[in-house]
Chains A and B, each alone.
Chain A
Amino acid sequence: MTLTAFIVFTLAAIGTYLIRISGIVLLGGDRDLPPRVRKALSLVAPAAMAAIVANSLFLDAGEWRAFGAWHLAAIVAVAVALWKRSMGWTLSLGALSFAALLLAGL
Chain B
Amino acid sequence: MAPEQWADLWTGTRAIAPLMPGAVVFGMAFGALVQVVGLPGWLAPYASSTVTAGASQIAIVEALRQGAPAIIAIVTALVINARLALYSAALAPIFAPFPLRWRLALAYLMTDQSAAVSSFEAERWPDPVRRRWFILGVSGPFVGVWILGTAAGVVLGPVIPESWQIGFIVPLMFIAVLVPGLRAWPSVAAAGISVAVVLALKDLPYGLNVLAGALTGFALGSLVPERPRRPRGEVPPQAVPEAGDP
Contacts and interface: CB of A to CB of B under 8 A. Distances in A.
Given A2-B40, A9-B60, A70-B171, A81 B50 contact: no
A23 to B, nearest CB: 3
Interface residues of B, number: 105
A102 B52 contact: no
Contact of A25 (B84, B103, B203): B103
A44 B191 CA distance: 9
B57 to A, nearest CB: 8
Interface residues of A, number: 74
Given A9-B60, A12-B60, A42-B241, A102 B190 contact: no
Interface in A38-63: 38-59, 61-62
A4 B71 CA distance: 10
Interface string B82-113: 11111111111101110000011001101010
Contacts of A1: 38-39, 64
Contacts of B190: 43, 46-47, 50
B244 interface: yes
B243 A5 contact: no
Contacts of A12: 51, 56, 60, 73-74, 77-78, 81
A46 B190 CA distance: 6
B14 to A, nearest CB: 16
A4 B60 CA distance: 11
29 contacts: A8-B73, A9-B50, A12-B74, A12-B77, A23-B92, A24-B88, A24-B107, A29-B97, A39-B222, A39-B226, A41-B89, A43-B186, A45-B178, A46-B188, A46-B221, A47-B214, A47-B215, A48-B218, A50-B213, A51-B211, A54-B194, A54-B195, A55-B198, A56-B171, A78-B179, A81-B175, A84-B180, A87-B244, A91-B22
Given A20-B108, A50-B194, 19 more contacts: A5-B60, A12-B60, A15-B74, A17-B107, A22-B88, A23-B85, A23-B90, A23-B91, A24-B92, A29-B95, A43-B222, A47-B216, A61-B66, A62-B203, A69-B165, A74-B175, A78-B179, A87-B180, A91-B173
> Which 4 pairs from chain A and chain B are nearest by CB?
A29-B96, A23-B88, A47-B217, A23-B89
